[in-house]
Structure 1
Amino acid sequence: MNKVPDSLHGRRSIIDRRQVADALNDQLAGLPDTTARREAIVAALRAALAVGREEVSRRLAANPTRGRDAVTSQAFLMDQIIRILFDATIAWLYPISNPTASERLTLIAVGGYGRGEMAPYSDVDIGFITPYKPTEWTEQVIESMLYALWDLGLKVGHSSRSIDETMRMARADLTIRTALLEARFIWGDRTVYEECVRRFDKDVMQGTARTFVAEKLAERDARHKQMGDSRYVVEPNVKEGKGGLRDLHTLFWIGKYVHRVRSVAELVDVGLLTRAELSQFQRAENFLWAVRCHMHELSKRAEDRLTFDLQLEVARRMGFTEKRGRSSVERFMHLYFLMAKTVGDLTGVFLAHLDDAMAKKGRRYIPAMFTRPKKLDGFVLDRGRISIPDDSFFREKPARMIEIFALADKHDLQIHPNTMRALNRDAVLIDRAVREDPQANALFMSVLTSPRDPEKVLRWMNEAGTFGRFVPDFGRVVAQMQFDMYHHYTVDEHTIRAIGLLAKIEKGEFKDDHPLATAIIAKILSRRVLYVSVLLHDIAKGRGGDHSLLGAQVAEKLCPRLGMSAAETETVAWLVKYHLLMSATAFKRDLADYKTILDFAEVVQSPERLRLLVLLTIVDIRAVGPGVWNSWKRQLLTELYDAAEEVIRPGHKQRGRQERIAAKREALSQRLGIDAKAFEKLVKRFPDSYWIAEPDHILEKNARHLLAAGRSDLSIDAQPDPERGATLVTVYAADHPGLFYRLAGAIHLAGGNIIDARIHTLRDGTALDNFLVQDPFGGRFDGPEQIARIKTYIEDALLNRQTLMAKLDQRPLPRTRAEAFEVVPQVLIDNKASNRFTVVEIAARDRPALLLSLAFALFQSKTMVHSAHVATFGERAVDTFYLTDLLGGKLESKTRLATLERRLIEAATNTAGEMLDVNAFAMSS
C-alpha cells in the first residue's frame, strides 16, 4: 500500500486539514441550500489550495534542489483537499444515514499521484471504486466532487468503476494496469480499497510478470523513439525523454510487478539494485523532480520540455553560476545530461539483475540472439553477452577496457550490464601508460573505423566512461551542450552520430539522400584519415577560442599516438582546421562568381582533400539534428564540389568564360526549339554574368517565362523545384533600386521565406530576378493557394498598392524560440572576395522579416543587390549580399562603407516595422 512519506516535515504549515474542515463545517451549518453549500466548499478549498501551493513554492525556492520534498508536499496537499471535499460532499450535499453494501465508495490516487509524487501543475489522477455497480448516490457524489475539482482549476484524470470492471480493464490495458499498480488509498471505504488490491494481485498480476516486463520495455523503446531516441537532445523532455523520470518509473514498475516492492528502497532487498545504485537512483530522481517543478512554476502549466528559455531560468533558480568560462546554463545542462546518463546506466544494471534473478538456467529472461565466437582472449560469454571472468579482470590489465569493445564489435556481441558497471568503476585506471599502449590504440582504431557499426560500440564506450578516459580531449566534451538552436545534441553525441552516418554512407545506405558522398567515398585513399577527422572535428569546443584551430592542434598531438603517419596527421589536422570551409562557401557565397571557386580551390589544392572535406561536411551537417539536412544544401555542396573538382583535377585545362557561355547558349537553343532569329533576339538581352550564374534548367525556365511575357511590363512565375526542396519564384519587371526590398517584403507577407536570390539586370534595363522560397520552417512552399498568394502579393507590391504596404508595418511579428538567445549583430564587408562585387555578410539573430529589414537598409544606402544568400544556423541568420553602387562599381569609399555598416547593424537590431517607412515603401520606384 503506497502512502505519502511520514518524513514530510511541517505538514500543517502546508495545510491543516482538521482546522480547514472544522471551519468549513461551521460555515456550512449556517447555509440553507445545496447550491450555497457547494459554493462555500469550493471557496474554502480554493483558499486552502492557494495557501498550500504558496508554501510548497516557498520551500522549493528556499531549497531549489530538493525535488523530492516539493513533489511529496504537493501530493500531500492534494490528498487533504480531496479528503475535505469528500467529507463535506457526503455530510452536507448528499448525506446518507444508512448506506447499503452497494453505497460504498473509495477514492484512490493512481499513476504518479499514487506514488505520492506531484509536480505543481500535474494532472490529479484519481479513481472512484465501488464494490458493485454504481448506485444513484455514488454517481451523485462522484459527479459533485469532479465539478468541484474542476472549479478549483485542477486538471483531473479520473475513472469510475466497480471492482469487477476495474479488474477486467486492467487485464486488457497496459496503461490502466500500470496506473493501478501504484494505486494508493486517499479516502473513503478502506475495505473496498483492500478488496481491490487483493483482487488486482490475484486476478491481474499473478503469473503475468514476464508479459508485463516485455510490454513495459517495448513501450519504453517506442517512447524513446518518439522523443528522438537520445538522452542528449539539447531541449530534452524531463518526463518522457530518454534518461528522464519515466525511465526511472519504469524500473520501479517492473520491480513492483515482479517482486511486489512498495518503495524504491525495497529494490535493494530483492537484489535489483545495490546500495550504491539506490543512491544514484534517488539522486537522479531528486534532481529531475526539482527541474520539473521549477519548469512548472515558471510556465504556470504542466510543461515537461526543457526549452532554451526555461533552461536559463531553471539554471538561475537552482543556483548555477558562471565558472571557468562556462555559463550557468551550460553548467546546469552538463549536470542534467550526466544525470540522464546515470538513469541509462541504472537501467542497464537493473535489467541485468532482473535477468540473473529470473532467467532459467542457461537462458535469458530478456531474450537475445547471438552466435558463439571461438576466441575471446580471457573474456567470457554470459548468455550471449561478453563479460569478465572475475571482478579484478580489468584491474589486472586496464588495456582490456579497450579490448572488450573491439571484441564486441568484431563478434557483434552485447556487453553484459554488470561488466558495463565494472567498466564505469575501473575507467579511472586508464592512465598515460594505457593511452600510449600501441596495441590499445590499434584496438581503438579498429572500433572507430569498423566496417560494421562503429556508432553503436563507440556509444557503449562513451556510456562506460572509457572513451573519455582513453581520449581525454573527447572526455572534455562529454555531456557538453551547445547553447544554441542549431545543434540538437551534446558535442559527444553529435560526434558519435556523425561517425555512424559516415559508416552508413560507406555501406550504401544513403544513396538517395547523399548520391555524391556515396559515389566518392570508395575513391578516398585513406579511410582512417576520414574517420579520425570526423572524431576530432568538434573536439576543441568549449575552450574559449576558435575550435577549428584548437582542434587542429589536438589532432597534431593525438594522431601519432593513434598510430597515424606524419602525412595522415597533417591531413587530419588540415581537415579539422577547415571543416567549416565548404559549408561556409556553399551557403554564404555566390557559386556563380568564379573567384569564389578559385579561392576555395586554392585552399583545398588536391582532389583527395576535396573528397575528404565534402564527406566530413555532409556528416557534420546531417548529425546536427533532424531537419537540418535538406535537398537545397545537397545541391549547393554538389555544385561547389563539381566546380572545385574541375579546377583542381590534375591535367585540367580550364574552359574559358566565353566558351562556357557559348556551350550554355547552344544547350538552351536545343531545349527551346525556336527559330534562330527569335532565339538570337532573346539571348542578346542577357549579360554574360547571367549565363555564368544560372544552371541550365533555370536558363530554360527563365527563357520560356520571357517568351510568354512578350511585351508585358510585369510577369511573375512560381514553380515548385523538387530538386532544391523549394519553389522558384521568377519576377520580370522594370528595374529600379527599390525592387529587391519590395520583392522581399511581398514574399514575407505571403508567408514565404527566401533562401536564395539571384538578381539580374538585362541589357534593355529590365530586371529578371530568381528567388528560391520555402516556408518559415524550411519546408516546401508549393501549395496551389501559396503559389497564388505569392503572385498576388508581388504584383500588389510592384504596382504601388499602398494598402498592402501598410499591412507590413501593422503585421505583428510572432515570438520565436530565438528570442531566448543573445546574438550580437556583426557586419563583414569584403572587397577582395569578388572581382566585380562588394561582398557584405551580416550575422544576426534570426527573426521574421530580417531579410526585408536588411534589404531596406541596402536600398537606403543606394546600392544594387546582384545576389543574396541566406543561411540559418538555429537562432543565427547569416545573410550575404553581392553589391555594387548604382553605376555598377564596387563600394570603395570608407565613409560610405561605414554608413552602410551602421545601417545594417540597425536593421539587424530593429524590427521591420521600426525600419520601414510605409509611405516611402509605397512611393519609391
Structure 2
Amino acid sequence: MQESALDLVQARDRLLGSGQLPPRVLREALADLHEFWLTAQAAHAGIDTAVHGVALVALGGLGRRELVPHSDLDLLLVHDKVEGVDQAAELLWYPLWNARIGLDHAVRTVAEAVEVAAFDLRVAVGLLDARHLAGDGDLTGRLIGAARQRWRAGVRARAAELVESARQRWRRAGEVAHVVEPDLKHGKGGLRDIGLLTALADGQLVDRPSAEVRQAHELLLNTRTELRRLTGRAVDVVRPQDGDEVAAALGLADRFELSRALSGAGRTVSYALEVAMRDASAQRRGFGVLRRKPDRRPLAEGVVLADGEVALARDADPSRDPGLLLRVAAAAAKVRAPIAPGALSTLADTAQEPRAPWSAALRQDLVAMLGAGEGLIDVVEALERTGLWARLVPEWGAVRDLPPRDAAHVWTVDRHLIRATANAAKLVTSVARPDLLLLGALLHDIGKGRDEDHSVVGAALAEQVGTRLGLSKSDVDTLQAMVRHHLLLPHTATRRDVEEPATVQRVAETLGGDVRLLELLHALTEADSLATGPGAWTPWKASLVADLVRRCAQAMAGEHAPGPEPLDPSQRELAERVAASGQPDVLVATNDTGDTEGALATVTLGAPDRPGLLSLAAGVLALNALEVHAATALGERGVAVLVLTASPRFGSLPDAALLREQFRRALGGTLELADKLAAKERDYRTAPFDPPAPRVRWFDNEADGGVVLELRCADRIGLLHSIATALERCDVDLWWARAATMGGTAIDSFCLGDEPRSGAADPDRRAAIEAAVLAAAADTG
C-alpha cells in the first residue's frame, strides 16, 4: 500500500498546485482526500463497518475538517481489547511514515483514552474534536460520549490549569494582534485560543463563540491556508516577505492591509477568551460565591473592585459624571484587574465624551492611567474593543493596527505607543514633568500612517490633543516639541560626533535651550527604544545618548531650585488670626470653575510655629482621603501657614470644622495619626503596581542660602506625611515645602534651611537625609 500513500501525496500536491480553490474549499478537499485514503487503508487493515470492537477516529484539524496544507494527521485507533489491533495499526501508520506524511497517532481503549485525558489537558481538549472515520461506529460514539461527559464533569476543576497553560503558550508565542510576525496558531488570539473557547463552551461554562469570533476564525484559517500553500511548508508565522502574496491570495491590497486585518481578528479572539476565562474561573469557585457577601472595595469615586474585576459602584452614573470613564480606566490599569464586561457595556452606552478643554481632575486621571505601567496595555485593549478609547483619543484611528514600515519594529504602531508609555511610567521620577513624559510617549508616533513626515504631522496632532486636554500654552508647546524632535537625540548620538561642539550647539539650539525639554526627550528616547524591539536600546546607545544630553545640558542654562508661592490676602488674614489667638485654624476654599469632578479645594492650616506641623497637616488630610496636588509651608509673623491644594479620592470634601478639630487633636497628641494612616493604606492597597524607583535631587538655593531636596516617587496615601516625618526626625530646619502630584507621580520639594544650620552641604549629612527620605518613600507599611 506504499504506492497508494504516494498517490495520496501526489493528489494532495496537485490540489495545492492548482491555485484554483478558495481556502475553505481547499481545506474541505484535503479533508475529503485524506479521509478517502484512510477509509480505504482501514478496510485493507481489516477495519470496516462490519468489524466490531475497532474504530479509526480523526482528531485535530482532520477531526474538525479544517485540514490546512502540510498538516500532520492526528489519528486514534480505539479498540475494545480485540486481537490483532497492533497489526492493523502498523498497516495504517507505516505507509504514512514511508510517504513522509506527518502523523500523531495512538492506540487505546475507550477507558485508556479517557484516563489519559484526565491528566493530559492537550489530550482532553483534542478528544472534543473526535470524528468517526472507519470501523465500529458505536465504539467511536462511546469514546466521544465518555470524553465529553468527563470533560463537562471536570472542566471547572481544570479552569486554573487551562488558564495557566494558555498563558505559558502566549509567553512563548506572543500575540497575533500588534506584532509584525504573528503566530497564527499558537499566539494569543490565534487558532489554539479559538479551540480553547470552543472547549469551554463544550464544558458548558460559556456560550458558543460569537459571530464576530467566527469571522475572525475564518480569516485566521484562510491566512494559514494560503501561507502554507504559498510557502510549501508547515509554517504558522506570517513573515513580512510572505505578506504581500498571502494578501493577494485573500483579495487584500498588500501585507499592511493583511496585518491590520489579522490584528483586528487577534484582538477579537483574545478579548473573547479573556472574558471566557474569567467566567470559567468564577464558576470554578462554585455556589459558595453566591452564599457569601460580594467582595467590593472602593478604588475611586464611583469605582469598586468586585470579585477581582473593576466595576461601577451602585450609585455611579456615567451619563452625569464625565470623569467616571477615566477613573475606571485608571483604577483598572493600576490594580491590573480587568474591567467588568458589564461596566464596559454601560460606559460604552452612556459615558460622556469629555468636553474640551478637559478639567484638571480629568487630566489627573488620564495621567494616572498612563502612568500605571504594564497595566495600561490590557486597559487600552478593553477600551479599544468597546470604542471608548476613540472617545478619549480620536486621533488614534490612523495608527490602530497599523504595521510598521521598518524592520526594527516588532509591534504595530498603536501597540508600540502603548508599550512606550508603559516604559515611560518607569522613568517618571527622572523628569520634572512626568505628565508631559507620559503624554509625549503616547503621542510620539501618532503622525504615522500618512504620507508626510510623521514627526511633523505628529507635532500638529500633539498640539491639537494638548489643547483639547486643557494644557497651558507652554505645556502644549513642550508636548509639540517632544513629538517633533523625538528622534533628535538617538539620531544625533548614533550618527554624529557628540564630542564636536558644533553638534552639541545644534541640538541645544534646536531645543531652544530648554533643559526641561532635553530631560523629557532623554527619557522618551529610552522608553521609545525599549518599545521598538530587541537590541534597539543597548548599553552602547544609552551611553551615547547620555553623553550627548550631558554636554547639551552644560551648554544650556543652569537648573534653578524650586521655590514657594506667596500667600494670598485671605491666607495672610488667617495667619494674623492665629498669631492673635494662639489657636490653630483652618480655611477651606473650593474652586469656582464649575468642575463636577474632584471638587478641587485649597486647604489652609495655620498654627503657632513648631516642629512637625507639615507632617501633622499632611496626615490629617490623608486621613480624610484628600489627595494633595500641591502644598506650600511658609512662615508669617511666627505662625506656620500650610497651604495645600487637594481633592477627595472618594465622596465630597470634609467639613472645615472636622479638619480643624482633627488638626488640633493632632497638635495636642490625642489623635493616633500614624496608626490610623497605616491602617488606611493597608485598606486601600489593592494592586501589584510596580512603582518607579524613587529619586532625590539636590539644589543650592542661592536666593536665600538654603538647600532644596526634591523627591520624585510614586504617590500614595500618606506619602507627604511620611516624608515630612522623616525629615523632622533628621532634625533639619524646614523652611518651606512644595508638593505636586501629576497622575500617579509625586514631586515634593523641601527647603532645609540655610547651610550653617542645616549642614546639608556636608556629604555624610546629605547622604543620611537622602537615605531617610528614600526609605520613607519606599515604605508602604
Coarse TM-score class (shorter-chain normalised): 0.5 to 0.7
Cα deviation 1:694-727 (Å, max 9, x = unaligned) = xxxxxxxxxxxxxxxxxxxxxxxxxxxxxxxxxx
- Residue 167 of structure 2 corresponds to 221
Equivalents in 2 of 1:499, 1:184: separation in Å?
Answer: 48
Equivalents in 2 of 1:294, 1:452: separation in Å?
Answer: 35
Runs of 5+ unmatched residues, structure 1: 1-37, 61-66, 260-269, 322-327, 507-520, 653-925
1:639 to partner: Cα distance: 2.1
- Residue 445 of structure 2 corresponds to 538
- Residue 406 of structure 1 corresponds to 330
SS in 1 for 2:62: helix
- Residue 500 of structure 1 corresponds to 422
- Residue 272 of structure 1 corresponds to 207
- Residue 217 of structure 2 corresponds to 285
> Does residue 1:109 correspond to 2:44, yes or no?
no
Cα deviation 1:403-436 (Å, max 9, x = unaligned) = 421343566653112333555x549x76584786
2:78 to 119, 129, 136: 129
> Does residue 1:634 correspond to 2:542, yes or no?
yes
1:542 to partner: Cα distance: 1.1
Equivalents in 2 of 1:207, 1:391: separation in Å?
Answer: 39
> Does residue 1:77 correspond to 2:33, yes or no?
yes
- Residue 309 of structure 2 corresponds to 385
Cα contact 1:442–1:562 (8 A) shared by 2: no
1:380 to partner: Cα distance: 6.0
Cα deviation 1:621-666 (Å, max 9, x = unaligned) = 11112332222212211222222233335399xxxxxxxxxxxxxx
Change (3 A) 1:412 1:374: same
- Residue 175 of structure 1 corresponds to 122
Change (3 A) 1:626 1:379: same
Change (3 A) 1:376 1:501: closer
Cα deviation 1:818-858 (Å, max 9, x = unaligned) = xxxxxxxxxxxxxxxxxxxxxxxxxxxxxxxxxxxxxxxxx
1:418 to 318, 322, 342: 342
What's the TM-score, normalizing by structure 1? 0.56
Cα contact 1:89–1:145 (8 A) shared by 2: yes
SS in 1 for 2:118: helix
1:47 to partner: Cα distance: 5.0
> Does residue 1:607 correspond to 2:556, yes or no?
no
1:316 to partner: Cα distance: 1.5
Cα deviation 1:532-572 (Å, max 9, x = unaligned) = 11111111111111111111111222212212111111111
Change (3 A) 1:527 1:388: closer
Segment of structure 1 superposing worse, 107-116 or 120-129? 107-116
- Residue 307 of structure 1 corresponds to 239
- Residue 341 of structure 1 corresponds to 267
SS in 1 for 2:210: helix
Provide the alpha-carbon RMSD of the alignment. Answer: 3.5
Equivalents in 2 of 1:71, 1:563: separation in Å?
Answer: 56
Change (3 A) 1:370 1:649: farther
Q: How does 1:731-880 map to 2 (within 5 A)?
A: none
1:449 to partner: Cα distance: 4.1
- Residue 232 of structure 1 corresponds to 178
Q: How does 1:442-457 map to 2 (within 5 A)?
A: 442-449=364-371, 453-457=375-379
- Residue 645 of structure 2 corresponds to none
Aligned letter for 1:340?
G
1:157 to 104, 110, 118: 104
> Does residue 1:59 correspond to 2:21, yes or no?
yes
Change (3 A) 1:68 1:378: farther
SS in 1 for 2:77: strand
Equivalents in 1 of 2:331, 2:325: separation in Å?
Answer: 11
Cα contact 2:177–2:266 (8 A) shared by 1: yes
> Does residue 1:363 correspond to 2:289, yes or no?
yes
Q: How does 1:641-680 map to 2 (within 5 A)?
A: 641-648=549-556, 650=558
> Does residue 1:295 correspond to 2:235, yes or no?
no
Equivalents in 2 of 1:318, 1:338: separation in Å?
Answer: 16
Change (3 A) 1:539 1:214: same
1:159 to partner: Cα distance: 1.4
Equivalents in 1 of 2:559, 2:145: separation in Å?
Answer: 86
SS in 2 for 1:373: strand
Change (3 A) 1:233 1:422: farther
Cα contact 1:435–1:471 (8 A) shared by 2: no
Cα contact 1:495–1:535 (8 A) shared by 2: yes
1:293 to partner: Cα distance: 0.3
Aligned letter for 2:32?
F
Cα deviation 1:327-382 (Å, max 9, x = unaligned) = x32222112111111112222343455467665457399x9x99743476555664
Cα contact 2:70–2:234 (8 A) shared by 1: yes
1:40 to partner: Cα distance: 4.9
What's the TM-score, normalizing by structure 2? 0.65
Equivalents in 1 of 2:230, 2:336: separation in Å?
Answer: 47
Equivalents in 1 of 2:448, 2:190: separation in Å?
Answer: 26
Cα contact 1:245–1:285 (8 A) shared by 2: yes
Equivalents in 1 of 2:74, 2:68: separation in Å?
Answer: 12
Segment of structure 1 superposing worse, 123-132 or 433-442? 433-442
Cα contact 1:352–1:418 (8 A) shared by 2: no
Cα contact 2:181–2:238 (8 A) shared by 1: yes
Cα contact 1:363–1:383 (8 A) shared by 2: no
The sequence identity of aligned pairs, in percent, is 26
Equivalents in 2 of 1:375, 1:169: separation in Å?
Answer: 45
Change (3 A) 1:131 1:479: same
Equivalents in 1 of 2:352, 2:24: separation in Å?
Answer: 36
Change (3 A) 1:364 1:561: farther
Cα contact 1:395–1:426 (8 A) shared by 2: no
Change (3 A) 1:357 1:214: closer
Runs of 5+ unmatched residues, structure 2: 561-781
- Residue 432 of structure 2 corresponds to 525
Equivalents in 1 of 2:346, 2:180: separation in Å?
Answer: 29
Change (3 A) 1:485 1:410: closer
Cα contact 2:330–2:372 (8 A) shared by 1: no
Change (3 A) 1:237 1:190: same
> Does residue 1:316 correspond to 2:248, yes or no?
yes
1:451 to partner: Cα distance: 8.3
Equivalents in 2 of 1:549, 1:410: separation in Å?
Answer: 33
Equivalents in 1 of 2:458, 2:534: separation in Å?
Answer: 25
Aligned letter for 1:122?
S
Q: How many residues align?
A: 559
Equivalents in 2 of 1:565, 1:543: separation in Å?
Answer: 28
Cα contact 1:126–1:157 (8 A) shared by 2: yes
Cα contact 1:53–1:74 (8 A) shared by 2: no
